[in-house]
């Protein structure tokens, strides 16, 4: 894998990059829509391509349960299985095991857990996490990490970070031994909100040497300023010639702020999940499409938005589809929200190229402040 660092903003740490992966190149900073079960809910691959999506995230945990990674492998890997010929990143399943499975036992070997679907037993260790992701055939795999809940004591955080380090080392060794063609393995820096533990995690992972580094364990309930501070400190440690990926984040405002701190990659369910719940992003805040005020509203979701939904449909129609529980409601809302995220990322990349990232930040911050004041939803 090659990561080109194309440009840097002059006033912030924002970087303009390009990832070259087995299934194509990706312009960074990039937002990755989430395709949990080998589908971004409601979207055909054609629709994703028309939204200029360049890379997706799929969840190993979910695919392990349904349809099973062996089935995906037999069908030729995720790309052929889901008809998506562009890059895919898979997570390791570590986060879902903690957040979705009530029954689990964890030790240094890995996690024994029961499926949240039918209670059947599974084991996920560092080597199996790599094997599963090799079967899925993603361009970027993630190491298995031990995901801590927030808040945690210093002792819990240290233990969890060190276990994550040990697993990362075993993932790295297993990956090197198998040396799958066209797949890369990214590390995940852990250590909660503790400066020393984050330092230790980052340094040890850099000693192993990875083509990319994620920052994990954020966006789990800590205040935004705390998250930003951790990113700022970790970023300073990471090698500038490698991409940095902030996992599971975030809101449009988070994206703008975290790019300024040097983050290159993001993923989040927010645009797609919110869409299905009828929560639609606009630059002036959000609208909740089910509200009665939109019953006879002939306007698009956002005046001036270039997405096919805003160019074609009224809020009245979108509200109607939502109230009638129509499939097309999820489809159209998802198209709009993904377009909104894509448009933010496009503006982010452009602002970096023009070395005017500070202006974009100021604009987004001030619009956000006035949106919070005027938001009556």
323 touching a copy of itself, by CB under 8 A: yes
312 touching a copy of itself, by CB under 8 A: yes
**Cα distances (Å, whole numbers) of residue 299 to 252, 277, 304, 314, 342:** 23, 20, 11, 5, 22
**Minimum distance from CB of 333 to a copy of itself (Å)?**
11
**Minimum distance from CB of 26 to a copy of itself (Å)?**
22
299 touching a copy of itself, by CB under 8 A: no
316 touching a copy of itself, by CB under 8 A: yes
By CB atoms closer than 10 A (0-12, 13-18, 19+), residue 32 is buried
Name the one range near a copy of itself by CB under 8 A: 36-44, 163-171, 229-237, 345-353: 36-44
From the candidates 139, 254, 264, 267, give the one annotated as an active-site residue. 267
324 touching a copy of itself, by CB under 8 A: yes
217 touching a copy of itself, by CB under 8 A: no
**Minimum distance from CB of 207 to a copy of itself (Å)?**
40
Strand partners, 21: 24
Site string for a copy of itself, 182-201 (x = CB under 8 A): --------------------
Among 109, 203, 326, 353, binds a copy of itself (CB under 8 A): 326
107 belongs to the catalytic site: no
267 belongs to the catalytic site: yes
Q: Which residue has the tokens 């975290």?
A: 258
- Report residue 312 as tokens: 């074609």
- Report residue 289 as tokens: 């499409």
Name the one range near a copy of itself by CB under 8 A: 79-87, 130-138, 167-175, 340-348: 79-87
Among 14, 26, 28, 43, binds a copy of itself (CB under 8 A): 43
304 touching a copy of itself, by CB under 8 A: no
From the candidates 79, 91, 139, 264, give the one annotated as an active-site residue. 91
Among 331, 344, 352, 364, binds a copy of itself (CB under 8 A): 331
**Minimum distance from CB of 59 to a copy of itself (Å)?**
12
Residue 202, Ramachandran bin (φ over 0: left; ψ between -120 and 50: alpha; else beta): alpha
293 touching a copy of itself, by CB under 8 A: no
By beta-carbon proximity to a copy of itself, the closer residue of 1 and 316 is 316
Active-site residue list = 91, 267
Interacting residues toward a copy of itself by CB under 8 A: 37-39, 41-46, 66-67, 71, 74-76, 81-83, 295-296, 298, 308, 312-314, 316-317, 319-321, 323-324, 326-328, 330-332
């Amino acid at each position: 894998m090659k990561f080109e660092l194309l440009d840097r903003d002059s006033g912030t740490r924002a970087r303009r990059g390009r990832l070259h992966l087995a299934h194509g190149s990706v312009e960074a900073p990039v937002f990755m829509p989430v395709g949990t079960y080998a589908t971004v809910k409601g979207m055909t691959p054609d629709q994703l391509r028309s939204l200029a999506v360049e890379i997706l995230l799929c969840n190993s945990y979910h695919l392990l349960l349904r349809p099973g990674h062996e089935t995906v492998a037999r069908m030729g890997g995720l790309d052929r299985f889901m008809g998506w010929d562009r890059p895919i990143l898979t997570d390791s399943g570590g986060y879902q095991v903690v957040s979705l499975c009530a029954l689990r036992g964890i030790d240094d070997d890995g996690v024994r857990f029961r499926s949240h679907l039918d209670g059947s037993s599974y084991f996920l260790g560092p080597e199996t996490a790599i094997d599963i992701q090799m079967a899925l055939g993603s361009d970027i795999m993630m190491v298995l990490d031990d995901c801590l809940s927030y808040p945690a004591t210093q002792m819990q955080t240290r233990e969890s970070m060190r276990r994550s380090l040990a697993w990362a080392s075993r993932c790295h060794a297993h990956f090197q031994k198998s040396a799958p063609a066209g797949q890369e393995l990214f590390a995940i820096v852990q250590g909660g909100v503790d400066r020393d533990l984050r330092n230790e995690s980052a340094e040890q992972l850099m000693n192993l040497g990875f083509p990319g580094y994620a920052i994990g364990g954020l966006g789990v309930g800590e205040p935004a300023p705390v998250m930003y501070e951790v990113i700022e400190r970790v970023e300073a440690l990471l090698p500038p010639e490698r991409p940095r990926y902030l996992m599971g984040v975030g809101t449009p405002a988070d994206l703008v702020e975290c790019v300024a701190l040097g983050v290159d990659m993001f993923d989040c369910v927010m645009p797609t999940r919110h869409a299905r719940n009828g929560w639609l992003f606009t630059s002036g805040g959000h609208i909740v499409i089910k509200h009665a005020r939109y019953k006879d509203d002939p306007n698009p979701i956002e005046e001036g938005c270039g997405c096919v939904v805003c160019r074609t449909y009224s809020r009245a129609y979108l509200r109607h589809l939502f109230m009638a529980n129509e499939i097309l409601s999820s489809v159209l809302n998802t198209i709009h929200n993904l377009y909104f995220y894509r448009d933010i990322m496009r503006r982010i990349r452009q602002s970096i190229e023009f070395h005017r990232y500070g202006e974009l930040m100021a604009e987004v911050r001030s619009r956000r402040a006035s949106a919070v004041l005027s938001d009556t939803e």
